[in-house]
Amino acid sequence: MRVGVPTESKIDEYRIAITPAGVRELTARGHDVLVQAGAGAGSAIADAEFVAQGARIIDDAPALFAEAELVLKVKEPQAHEVPWLRPDHTLFTYLHLAAEPELARGLQQSGATCIAYETVEDADGRLPLLAPMSEVAGKIATQAGAFMLEKPLGGRGILLGGVPGVAAATVLVIGGGAVGMNAALIAIGMQADVFVFDSSIDKLRELDIVFAGRASTVFSSTLAIEQMLPMADLVIGAVLVHGARAPHVVTRAQLSLMRQHAVLVDVSIDQGGCFETSRPTTHSDPTFEVDGITHYCVTNMPGAVPITSTYALTNATLPYVLELADHGPAEALERSSALRMGLNVRDGEIIHPAVAEALGV
Ligand SMILES: NC(=O)c1ccc[n+]([C@@H]2O[C@H](COP(=O)([O-])OP(=O)(O)OC[C@H]3O[C@@H](n4cnc5c(N)ncnc54)[C@H](O)[C@@H]3O)[C@@H](O)[C@H]2O)c1
């Protein structure tokens, strides 16, 4: 199998979909690995490190797409990349199509087989390829929120952990999955007062054990959120309904319940956002204000720490990459129910039920 790894072209994206360790595993099994020149630079991996493990360096992206059969990426194809996809391509990457109808149409027209990292699901209903990036994004969410609370950055001017004699800030985390738990653990570490909301009692039970009394768990409801918003300095939105657009857990009207210059961090923005007033932002311009509330809505938060994120992501994707390369996509999809859950688009059709429902097709 010819496996191609292009340079990510989304703004502020520095990750790459393979490391030298992955190249080594593939070439040792007889696969051909093509890496675009400079693709690893953002993650501090030189072309020579890929070459040392048997990769071939290709100068530009169109040539790489032309030669590759299996294309590995990190973020969804950008508008200029979609026309390079063909019916004989298998694309393996984050897609988040539920909130991207135009991209979904482009992928349908390409005829390519598109498998989305974020909907690959194991037998226990976990999302093994979303989890590592969610862990990174959760940790960044609290760091970023703490920073945006500083006065010179437009925040309320409160220190997350307080000091002796001065109360800590109040942090609400809505959605207690991989993102939410990691956001909460960092907030606990920074000595904030932390409340984690989730609509799953089982999830709250798990979290209660993990937090061991250092944070409160709250069954998520509109009323419970409304009652806590007036106390909040930082609200981190981290809800997910698999494959679907994020539900709105804070509406525009509810912003008026909040303290002026409090901060909302919408990690669910890649699924359309879980605050009604959210819109996607980038690392170079991460925030905007609505009704006096700072919104941080960066769609690729792990892209800010590419060295951590590239290794965390590729550790998780490699077993699936090997399965696709060794058996070919058709047989790999037959053999692996996890990969089948990842299948979003094939032969011009949207295959994943929740994605299809979100797109209304
Ligand atoms: N912005 C980024 O850079 C970035 C990076 C990684 C992940 N994400 C996104 O973060 C979101 C969360 O990911 P995750 O891995 O933590 O998912 P997860 O499935 O582990 O957790 C989601 C949690 O939300 C809960 N939930 C669902 N609906 C809810 C509701 N209405 N109220 C309260 N809780 C609710 C679920 O019970 C679950 O515990 C996803 O949308 C994911 O795509 C974004």
Domains of the chain: 2-127+306-359 (3.40.50.720), 131-304 (3.40.50.720)
Ligand 1 centroid from CA 142, angstroms: 15
Q: What is the DSSP string of 174-189?
A: E--SHHHHHHHHHHHH
d(CA 331, CA 327): 6
Spell out the residues 6+ positions from residue 85 whose beta carbon is closer than 8 angstroms to its own.
65, 71, 77, 91, 107, 110, 111, 112
Residue keyed to tokens 């690729």 = 300
Atom of ligand 1 nearest to the CA of 300: 3
Q: Are 187 and 168 in contact (CB under 8 A)?
A: no
What's the mean pLDDT in 46-66?
98
What's the mean pLDDT in 339-357?
96
Q: What is the pLDDT of residues 39-50, one digit of tens each?
A: 999 999 999 999
d(CA 158, CA 98): 36
Confidence of residue 244 (pLDDT cuts 50, 70, 90): confident
Does 231 score more than 90 pLDDT? yes
d(CA 239, CA 135): 14
Residue 195: strand pairing partners: 172, 216
What's the mean pLDDT in 240-257?
93
Q: What angle do CA 64, 88, 118 make, to 5 degrees?
A: 80
Does 159 score more than 90 pLDDT? yes
Neighbours of 52 (CB within 10 A): 12
Neighbours of 121 (CB within 10 A): 20
CA nearest neighbour of 116 among 129, 125, 126: 129
Q: What is the pLDDT of residues 277-327, one digit of tens each?
A: 999 999 999 999 999 999 999 998 998 999 999 999 999 999 999 999 999
Confidence of residue 242 (pLDDT cuts 50, 70, 90): confident
Proportion of the chain above pLDDT 90, given as a percent: 94
Averaged pLDDT score across all residues of the chain: 96
Pocket test for ligand 1, best of 133, 134, 276, 305 (most atoms within 8 A of CB): 134
What pLDDT shows up at residue 65?
Answer: 98
Note the maximum CA span of the chain: 65
CA 40 distance to own-chain centroid: 19
Atom of ligand 1 nearest to the CA of 297: 1
Neighbours of 32 (CB within 10 A): 17
Pocket test for ligand 1, best of 10, 130, 221 (most atoms within 8 A of CB): 130
Ligand 1 centroid from CA 138, angstroms: 10
| Protein residues whose CB sits closer than 6 Å to any atom of ligand 1 | 118, 130, 133-134, 137, 174-180, 197-200, 203, 220, 238-241, 246-247, 249, 267-271, 299-302
What's the mean pLDDT in 98-107?
94
What pLDDT shows up at residue 251?
Answer: 98
Q: Are 302 and 314 in contact (CB under 8 A)?
A: no
**Strands (E) located in 79-141:** 90-93, 113-116
CA 279 distance to own-chain centroid: 16
Ligand 1 centroid from CA 177, angstroms: 6
The catalytic residue positions are 96, 270
Q: φ and ψ at 260, to 5 degrees?
A: -60, 140
What pLDDT shows up at residue 361?
Answer: 87
What pLDDT shows up at residue 290?
Answer: 98
Structure tokens at 274: 């879980």
Alpha helices (H) along 111-163: 131-148
Task: Name the strand (E) or helix (H) holding 82.
Answer: none
What pLDDT shows up at residue 11?
Answer: 84
d(CA 233, CA 192): 10
What's the mean pLDDT in 212-241?
97
Output Rg (C-alpha) for the chain, integer angstroms. 21
CA nearest neighbour of 211 among 203, 220, 222: 203
d(CA 7, CA 61): 7
Q: What is the pLDDT of residues 84-101, one digit of tens each?
A: 999 999 999 999 998 899
- pTM of the predicted protein model: 0.87
Does 243 score more than 80 pLDDT? no
Proportion of the chain above pLDDT 70, given as a percent: 100
Q: φ and ψ at 272, to 5 degrees?
A: 100, -10
